[in-house]
Amino acid sequence: MIFMRGCRIYIWIIALICFVSCKGGGIDYAKEDGGIADMDSIGNVAVHNVDLTGTVMDMADSVLSSLTLEQRVGQCFMPAIYASDDSLNMKKFKSYISDLHVGGVVLLKGNLESATVMASIGSDAEVPLFIAIDAEWGLGMRLTDAPDFPKNGKLGPRADESLLFDYGAEVARECRRVGINMVLGPVIDVTENPRGVIGSRSFGGDPVRVADLGVAYARGLESGKVISVAKHFPGHGSPKEDSHRSLPVINRSLHQLDSIDLYPFKSYIDAGLSGVMVGHLAVPAIDPLSLPAAVSPVVIGDLLRNELEFRGLVLTDALNMGGVEGYGAYAALNAGADIVVAPGNTSLEISRVVEMIRNGDMEISVIDDRCRRILFYKLLAGAFEPRSFSLSGLREEVSHGTDTLYRKLAR
């Protein structure tokens, strides 16, 4: 059964390549790693190329129809795990894949070699994984032996959109060599206080500059077939509280939210980019119940999906954080999230969602909608394509090539 399922996916991919080649357009198969992503942006395929979008969605439906309920639910979960190949960690990682059928993992602290081993295993799963990382200023943010770059708030005044695109493209190149296909970044929160909670993770306090640089960086990532995930919607730049510990409240008017916090996210969405992470933030001006945004149907459904017309992947911030205490994966999925990041107990949360569906307390159509979108973006990112990962020469290439880029970014 698994063999036949894999054959069907392979045949679909070959058919897609033939279809696109005949249609022409902006698809570049001569690029390193090949694939089906648009030269400009993975997200722009979904937004602008109607023929390709329909074909990839047909592929996603085909894969979806072959999955059990447990596998469909598992696709909506992305637990966090250390990028370490020690035996206990690897046992946990393999269990996530074989027993819980997770759709991806977020790599925490570790090293390049371990990350590559895990990415290789993840790519061989029946449904290949999203391998995500918080590379907000390069892989060095999480992987000790990888290069890093200046934090967003430390970029020099001459950093422009062209340079940020190149920066994103370089990070994508490094990610693909390691096997990472999703970056949980850029941070496009507009900060009031550079010493605040978000601080130098942000591009600063000017909404236009934050939008311009953040979108350019994300476009660079996606030009290299790495999914970008802008965060933390609807904007974590003004609260003083840390959502890791408690629930911050955004005390802004609708006008302030629209002109400051939401401005970069609207630019990101208008650019056709792929992912948005919703934070643990109470926004009374939007949601009178002041629910954490990641579990708020008003914030995700009414604002992000309907008003801003975002059609890409919606991820939660980590559900093991204090700002969302008391809420589980069901609340996030029911509110409109596609991917639940770092739940406190992945196995228990998956079991609860499966049980709710079987008991009629949650519609299977909710999970099918989320799972279909996840598969769609996995296909666009080339997750189903045969791949091999190698660190051969990577450290030398990176250290030589990034020195100049680092200096350009910092000056």
Compute the half-sphere exposure of residue 318: CA atoms within 13 Å on the CB side of its CA: 22
CA-based angle 224:139:181, to the nearest 5? 40
Q: Strand 104-110 relative to strand 130-133: parallel, antiparallel, unpaired?
A: parallel
- What pLDDT was estimated at residue 52? 74
Which of the pair, 95 or 326, is modelled with greater confidence? 95
How many whole angstroms separate alpha carbon 20 and alpha carbon 22? 5
- What pLDDT was estimated at residue 398? 55
The β-bridge partners of 367 are none
Longest dimension (CA), the chain: 59
Tell me the two tokens of residue 262: 């939401």
Tell me which of 145, 244, 361, 403 is the catalytic residue. 244
For residue range 298-320, list pLDDT tens digits in order: 999 999 999 999 999 999 999 99
- What pLDDT was estimated at residue 43? 61
User: Is the pLDDT score of 392 beyond 70?
Assistant: no
- What pLDDT was estimated at residue 14? 45
How many whole angstroms separate alpha carbon 218 and alpha carbon 228? 6
Is the pTM higher than 0.85? The answer reads yes
User: Is the pLDDT score of 98 beyond 90?
Assistant: yes
- What pLDDT was estimated at residue 42? 74
Q: Which residues touch 399 (CB under 8 Å, ≥6 apart)?
A: 147
Tell me which of 317, 338, 400, 403 is the catalytic residue. 317
The β-bridge partners of 27 are 38
pLDDT tier, 373 (very low <50, low <70, confident <90, very high otherwise): very high
Directed axis angle between helix 112-123 and helix 161-178, to 10°?
Answer: 70
Cα radius of gyration (the chain)? 20
Q: Is 160 a catalytic residue?
A: no
Q: 3-class secondary structure for 155-210?
A: CCCCCCHHHHHHHHHHHHHHHHHHCCCEECCCECCCCCCCCCCCHHHCCCCCHHHH
Cβ density class 379-407: b for 16+ within 10 Å, e for less: bbbbbbbebebeeeebeeebeeebeebbe
- Give the percent of the chain with pLDDT over 90: 73
Tell me the two tokens of residue 72: 């469909």
User: Is the pLDDT score of 6 beyond 70?
Assistant: no
How many whole angstroms separate alpha carbon 91 and alpha carbon 97? 10
For residue range 189-216, list pLDDT tens digits in order: 999 877 778 999 999 999 999 999 999 9
User: Is the pLDDT score of 235 beyond 80?
Assistant: yes
pLDDT tier, 385 (very low <50, low <70, confident <90, very high otherwise): confident
CATH T-level assignment (fold) for domain 2-410: TIM Barrel (3.20.20)
Per-chain mean pLDDT for the chain? 87
- What pLDDT was estimated at residue 411? 75
How many whole angstroms separate alpha carbon 169 and alpha carbon 323? 33
Query: What count of other Cβ atoms lies within 10 Å of the Cβ of residue 31?
Result: 13
Structural domain spans, the chain:
2-410
Spacing of C-alpha 251 from chain mean position: 27
Which of the pair, 31 or 172, is modelled with greater confidence? 172
Q: Is 317 a catalytic residue?
A: yes
User: Is the pLDDT score of 402 beyond 80?
Assistant: no
For residue range 117-160, list pLDDT tens digits in order: 999 999 999 999 999 999 999 999 999 999 889 999 999 998 99
Residue in the structure block whose two tokens are 């992945």: 346
How many whole angstroms separate alpha carbon 275 and alpha carbon 311? 9
- What pLDDT was estimated at residue 39? 38
- What pLDDT was estimated at residue 24? 36
